Structure 1
Amino acid sequence: MGCPMELACPEGHSALLRLQDSELRLLELMKKWMVQRSRSDREYGSLLHQMYCLAEKQEGAGGQARNDDSGSQISQCWWLLASQTETLSRILRRHADDLVAGPLHKLGLLIRNKQQLRRSYSEQWERLSQDFTRVPALSPTRGHQP
């Protein structure tokens, strides 16, 4: 795939570099946001788990059986809420781990790839620019042909 003539000039090169830089900044921002999201979800999941453990501890001290059919509806509702809170804490922690292992890891690879491509593009542009300035110096002058 060729490069349009509008981008073959120094201004086009600068525009492409600015575009690549802005894409890299956006990807870095996305990565930072995803890391924070993962941390927040993991922390929230841990806090929910602590709440569940506290409820279990309270239950043990009170001596009430949570699965007892003779328990009141309020007690049954309470333990349903507590168990759903524990389930939610597990889901949040698992999703936080999945985010780090999946999309966040792939985003890191994409950022590294984009950085390498930007470096490669800049090096090739520099090499072509040097070759272009060297060619007129090496070619014979037009007025002195035999």
Structure 2
Amino acid sequence: MGFGSELQGQPSHSALLSLQDAELRLLESVKKCVNQRIKCDRDYATALANMVNTAQKLETSPEFNSPTFQAWSTVIKETENVIKLIRDNAEKLVAKTLERLVQVINEKKSEKKFYNEEHNRLHAEFCKVGR
């Protein structure tokens, strides 16, 4: 299987290279954004954990069983749950999304390299035949 005759010229080759470059730039930008998201999530979880640690110091002894103390205890417990969810999500982003994104970027780079090598090889053969 080959290209149609309208896709065999230098303008088509340049367009395909431009498309590959644009896709790689987009994937690199997505990777950068995912890394930023992971960093922000981790920082946010750390800040919430610090807040919970400070809040736990404010709690008084369990002998006070008023609705206010119960509500405060619930806020702290739910914040701890949120921290766990945020951290788990950040780890999943690293383990699944980021890992797969890096894999796709590497595949795109190798496909571009293969395309360039094949184009150069075919161009060299064409030049030999044309002489």
Q: Which TM-score applies when normalising by structure 2?
A: 0.94
Aligned equivalent of 1:25? 25
Structure 1 residues 62-141: aligned runs within 5 Å: 63-65=60-62, 71-137=65-131
Name the aligned partner's letter for residue 25 of structure 2: R
Q: Distance in 2 between matches of 1:4 and 1:28?
A: 31
Higher relative contact order (CA 8 A, sep 6+): 2
CA distance in 2, matches of 1:4, 1:72: 79
- Alpha-carbon shift at residue 5 of structure 1 (Å): 2.3
Please give the root-mean-square deviation of Cα atoms over the aligned residues, in Å: 1.2
What is the CA-CA distance between 1:49 and the residue it aligns to?
Answer: 1.1
- 2:56 is matched with which residue? 56
After TM superposition, give the deviation of residue 14 of structure 1 in Å: 0.3
Cα deviation, residue 73, structure 1: 0.7
Whole-angstrom distance in 2 between the partners of 1:72 and 1:6? 80
Secondary structure of 1:64 counterpart: coil
Q: Which runs of 5+ in 1 are unaligned?
A: 138-146
Gaps of 5+ in 2: none
Q: Scaled by the length of structure 1, what TM-score is found?
A: 0.85
1:58 positional shift: 2.1
The CA distance in 2 between the partners of 1:123 and 1:18, in whole Å, is 16
Identical-pair percentage? 38
AA partner of residue 64 (structure 1) = S
Deviation, structure 1 residue 50:
1.2
Task: State the shift of 1:37 in Å.
Answer: 0.2
Provide the C-alpha distance between the structure 1 equivalents of 2:23 and 2:5, rounded to a whole number of angstroms: 23
How many equivalent residue pairs? 131
Residues 22-65 of structure 1: CA distance to partner in whole angstroms, max 9, x if unpaired? 00000000000000001100110111111111111222xxx421
SS in 2 for 1:3: coil
One-letter code of the match for 1:124? E
Post-superposition CA distance 1:79-111 (Å, at most 9, x none)? 111111111011101100110000110000100
Counterpart AA for 1:90: K
Q: Match of 2:111, SS?
A: helix
